[in-house]
């Protein structure tokens, strides 16, 4: 047999200006392999151990520095060659094939690589394929010809996860999650593909469950700063948020509880895709080459693709592909956020969460009193004893008390009224002796006590009538005699009180140290089950505010859904509807 006359060349497609081809981490390394008959006679070549037949052995040296990339492809033990396993090459003719090197080699670390084809062509001859095949069968032995190619170079611009490690590390995860994921149906899948799919489905269940839960558990106050949400679904909007939350509930339910079918046989025209579905045909997912090349998790991963495809089924969410890709989806979130709730990739990227984004801070913000409350006079920029909204003729105002003085603030103008501070005894009429300053707390009555307000000091209180603009006669009284059912320890020296709003209207909250009691205005008694710790039921309080406050004030006008808590020179905003401390925005 004549081994002379064969040459092999390998080429990457590369930018004109560059010596080497450049690839991004996840895109694979497309390589063209060309086998040429340099001789003047027709040659027949056995295609085994060349890419012309696909990967059947470790036929390339893929190196980065001194390190050789691990071959992950199959090692085929061939039987006897058949005539059709031979390729006929006319003189000077070539045959070439393009394939993805990353399919067979674990190429994951960023850097410069060299590649060389170095293998043996098992059988080459001038004889007809039939004759060569018969000879090979007769002697049951070939005389291999060593062939090596030029060295091609490429650069991997960014790294990815090694495929080998994934296989090992995620076996145990898949094991753990087997309970939650149903076994899918496999169509046209090899055992290796089934194993991959089992892991990918378990991961898809995991990331959709995590998505669903984090959407459920993120309090409203955190949502506007939840970059993981806003990045993919646009600025926070309650309706859109709820849609996405319910979408993930549906996707999770489908993945965890329905009969998912994976079909590895793709329409030839679509095989280069990640995957496709017929939205009217749940839950069958057809997988293409890009899926098998993708990593288990990360951007455009296997598990993310499963989430994407599942969301397409009409019975699940019925998403569309309005746009694709991370930058396209971000563009949609900014320009047309309403469409994101029906865009598949937006859901995929939220679930993949790569690069990682959060769902907002765990705690609300602390604000500086002197910046949030404008034109407060010197000495009134914090450390109030109590705060109170005006009512009756004084509606639209609020009052801050400190020592023997007070300041009036205008909710609409959002600034302190000029001419303050004034002495409490000059502005508030008929206050009994000993009740002309140093209140510990103040609150407006509600329900049967509307139109009144109450000042507290030590174990006593005074009731004030807004319309009469004077303290009611026969006060002070003992707190324990006028306020019913207060637990021991809550019958004197409150820090302050605040009226609930929204879902908490009709109640007032009495704070003392790190605890509070809820009082019902209509029943005129403290609700049972108190005191409770502030930290237990007031959500997202910033550090320092879980232990209590100096003063509390209901918002009014356009701020009526908020409560304000003051401590030292700082304050926080509490959102009654979201039941959480707000963030700066």
Partner 1 sequence: MAHRSDDYKASGSALKYSLIAEDSYSMGKPIILGFTLENLTNECFWILTWYTPLEGLKGRILKVTCRGKEILYNGLMVKRGGPELADYVRIGPKGSVSAKVDLSAAYSLPVSNECRVEFEGRIHDIVRDTNFVFIGRDEHHWIDIKGNAVAFRVVGPLRE
Q: Which of 193, 289, 358, 493 binds partner 1 (CB under 8 A)?
A: 289
b/e burial code for range 164-187 (CB count within 10 A of at least 16 → b):
eebbeebeeebeebeeebeebebe
Residue 223 C-beta: closest distance to partner 1, Å: 27
Residue 334 C-beta: closest distance to partner 1, Å: 12
Closest CA to 524 of 468, 489, 481, 478: 481
Strands 367-368, 570-575: pairing is antiparallel
The answer to whether residue 334 forms part of the interface with partner 1 (CB under 8 A) is no
Q: DSSP H helical segments within 337-468, as ranges?
A: 344-352, 369-372, 424-427
The answer to whether residue 585 forms part of the interface with partner 1 (CB under 8 A) is no
Listed ranges 59-67, 122-130, 298-306, 361-369: which one lies at the site for partner 1 (CB under 8 A): 298-306
Residue 28 C-beta: closest distance to partner 1, Å: 8
Q: Which is nearer to partner 1, 328 or 547 (CB)?
A: 328
Residues 375-414, one symbol each (x = binds partner 1 by CB under 8 A, - = not), give ----------------------------------------
Residue given tokens 């550090």 in the structure block: 543
Q: Which residues, numbered 225-254, are part of the site for partner 1 (CB under 8 A)?
A: none
Residues 145-184, one symbol each (x = binds partner 1 by CB under 8 A, - = not), give ------------x---------------------------
User: What are 151's strand-pairing partners?
Assistant: 116
Number of residues that bind partner 1 (CB under 8 A): 40
Residue 107 C-beta: closest distance to partner 1, Å: 15
**C-alpha to C-alpha distance for 323 and 314, rounded to whole angstroms:** 18
Q: Which residues, numbered 488-507, are part of the site for partner 1 (CB under 8 A)?
A: none
Q: Vertex 498, ends 496 and 501: CA angle to 5°?
A: 170
CB atoms within 10 A of CB 378: 7
Residue 22 C-beta: closest distance to partner 1, Å: 5
Q: Which of 300, 495, 556, 582 binds partner 1 (CB under 8 A)?
A: 300
Q: Which is nearer to partner 1, 273 or 404 (CB)?
A: 273
Spatial contact of 482 and 521, defined as CB atoms under 8 Å apart: no
- 444: helix, strand or coil: strand
| Dihedral angle, C-alpha 194, 199, 201, 206, nearest 10 ° | 170
- Burial (0-12, 13-18, 19+ Cβ within 10 Å), 21: buried
Spatial contact of 526 and 486, defined as CB atoms under 8 Å apart: yes
Closest CA to 227 of 333, 367, 300: 333
Tokens of 21: 């081809």
The answer to whether residue 86 forms part of the interface with partner 1 (CB under 8 A) is no
Q: Which of 326, 343, 499, 515 binds partner 1 (CB under 8 A)?
A: 326
Listed ranges 66-74, 182-190, 326-334, 522-530: which one lies at the site for partner 1 (CB under 8 A): 326-334
Closest CA to 95 of 7, 4, 31: 7
Catalytic residue among 309, 348, 554, 582: 309
The answer to whether residue 23 forms part of the interface with partner 1 (CB under 8 A) is yes
The answer to whether residue 201 forms part of the interface with partner 1 (CB under 8 A) is no
**C-alpha to C-alpha distance for 210 and 500, rounded to whole angstroms:** 33
Q: Which is nearer to partner 1, 277 or 572 (CB)?
A: 277
- Per DSSP, the residues of 77-108 read ---S--GGGEEEE-TT-EEEEEEEGGGTB---
Residue 14 C-beta: closest distance to partner 1, Å: 10
Residue 286 C-beta: closest distance to partner 1, Å: 8
Q: Which is nearer to partner 1, 325 or 448 (CB)?
A: 325
Is 309 an active-site residue?
A: yes
Closest CA to 111 of 16, 20, 17, 18: 20
Residues 344-363, one symbol each (x = binds partner 1 by CB under 8 A, - = not), give xx------------------
Spatial contact of 571 and 559, defined as CB atoms under 8 Å apart: no
The answer to whether residue 196 forms part of the interface with partner 1 (CB under 8 A) is no
CA distances from 438 to 144, 456, 471 (A): 102, 9, 16
Residue 47 C-beta: closest distance to partner 1, Å: 25
The answer to whether residue 123 forms part of the interface with partner 1 (CB under 8 A) is no
Q: Which is nearer to partner 1, 101 or 275 (CB)?
A: 275
Q: Which residues, numbered 28-57, are part of the site for partner 1 (CB under 8 A)?
A: 28
Q: Which of 33, 113, 142, 324 binds partner 1 (CB under 8 A)?
A: 324
Q: Which residues, numbered 304-323, are part of the site for partner 1 (CB under 8 A)?
A: 305, 308-309, 312, 314, 320-323
Q: Which of 2, 22, 470, 487 binds partner 1 (CB under 8 A)?
A: 22
Residue 270 C-beta: closest distance to partner 1, Å: 6
CB atoms within 10 A of CB 508: 24
The answer to whether residue 290 forms part of the interface with partner 1 (CB under 8 A) is yes
**C-alpha to C-alpha distance for 419 and 424, rounded to whole angstroms:** 13
> What is the DSSP secondary structure assignment for residue 573, as one 8-state letter?
E
Closest CA to 339 of 234, 452, 212: 234
CB atoms within 10 A of CB 345: 26
- 141: helix, strand or coil: coil
Q: Which residues, numbered 255-284, are part of the site for partner 1 (CB under 8 A)?
A: 270, 272-280
Q: Vertex 54, ends 48 and 60: CA angle to 5°?
A: 80
The answer to whether residue 544 forms part of the interface with partner 1 (CB under 8 A) is no
Residue 298 C-beta: closest distance to partner 1, Å: 12
Catalytic residue positions, numbered: 309
Q: Applying CB under 8 A, which residues contact partner 1? A: 15, 22-24, 27-28, 157, 270, 272-280, 288-290, 293, 299-300, 305, 308-309, 312, 314, 320-328, 331, 344-345
């Amino acid at each position: 047999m004549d081994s002379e006359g064969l040459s092999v060349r390998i080429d990457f497609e590369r930018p004109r200006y560059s010596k080497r081809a450049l690839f991004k981490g996840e895109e694979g390394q497309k390589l063209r392999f060309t086998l040429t008959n340099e001789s003047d006679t027709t040659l027949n070549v056995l295609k085994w151990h060349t890419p012309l037949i696909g990967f059947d052995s470790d036929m390339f040296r893929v190196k980065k520095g001194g390190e050789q990339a691990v071959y992950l492809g199959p090692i085929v033990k061939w039987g006897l060659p058949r005539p059709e396993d031979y390729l006929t090459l006319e003189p000077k003719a070539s045959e070439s094939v393009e394939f993805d090197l990353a399919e067979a080699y674990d190429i994951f670390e960023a850097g410069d690589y060299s590649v060389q084809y170095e293998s043996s062509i098992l059988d080459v001859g001038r004889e007809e394929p039939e004759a060569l095949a018969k000879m090979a069968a007769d002697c049951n032995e070939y005389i291999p010809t060593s062939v090596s190619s030029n060295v091609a170079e490429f650069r991997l611009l960014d790294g990815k996860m090694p495929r080998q490690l994934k296989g090992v590390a995620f076996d145990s995860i898949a094991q753990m999650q087997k309970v939650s994921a149903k076994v899918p149906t496999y169509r046209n899948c090899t055992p290796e593909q089934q194993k991959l799919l089992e892991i990918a489905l378990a991961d898809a269940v995991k990331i959709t469950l995590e998505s669903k839960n984090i959407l459920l558990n993120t309090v409203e106050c955190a949502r506007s700063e939840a970059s993981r949400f806003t990045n993919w679904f646009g600025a926070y909007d309650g309706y859109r948020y709820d849609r996405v939350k319910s979408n993930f509930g549906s996707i999770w339910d489908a993945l965890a509880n329905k009969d998912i079918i994976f079909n590895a046989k793709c329409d030839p025209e679509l095989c280069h895709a990640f995957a496709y579905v017929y939205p009217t045909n749940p839950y069958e997912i057809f997988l293409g080459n890009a899926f098998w090349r993708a990593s288990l998790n990360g951007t455009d991963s296997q598990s993310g693709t499963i989430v994407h495809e599942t969301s397409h089924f009409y019975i699940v969410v019925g998403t569309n592909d309005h746009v694709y890709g991370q930058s396209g989806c971000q563009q949609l979130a900014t320009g047309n956020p309403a469409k994101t709730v029906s865009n598949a990739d937006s859901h995929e990227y939220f679930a993949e969460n790569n690069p990682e984004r959060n769902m907002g801070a765990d705690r609300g913000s602390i604000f500086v009193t002197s910046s949030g409350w404008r034109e407060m006079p010197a000495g009134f920029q914090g450390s109030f004893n109590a705060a109170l909204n005006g009512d009756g003729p004084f509606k639209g105002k609020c009052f801050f008390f400190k020592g023997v003085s007070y300041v009036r603030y205008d909710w609409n103008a959002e600034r302190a009224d000029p001419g303050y501070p004034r002495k409490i005894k000059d502005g508030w009429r008929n206050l009994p002796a000993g009740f002309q300053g140093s209140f510990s707390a103040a609150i407006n009555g509600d329900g049967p006590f509307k139109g009144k307000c109450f000042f507290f000091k030590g174990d006593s209180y005074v009731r004030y009538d807004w319309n009469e603009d004077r303290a009611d006669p026969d006060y002070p009284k003992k707190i324990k005699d006028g306020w019913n059912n207060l637990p021991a320890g809550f019958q004197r020296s409150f820090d302050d009180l605040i009226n609930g709003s929204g879902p908490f209207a009709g109640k007032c909250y009495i704070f003392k140290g790190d605890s509070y009691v809820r009082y019902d205005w209509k029943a005129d008694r403290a609700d049972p089950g108190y005191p409770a710790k502030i930290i237990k039921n007031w959500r997202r309080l910033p550090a320092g505010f879980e232990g209590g406050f100096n003063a509390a004030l209901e918002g009014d006008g356009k701020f009526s859904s908020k409560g304000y808590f003051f401590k030292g020179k700082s304050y926080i905003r509490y959102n009654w509807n979201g039941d959480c401390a707000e963030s700066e925005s």
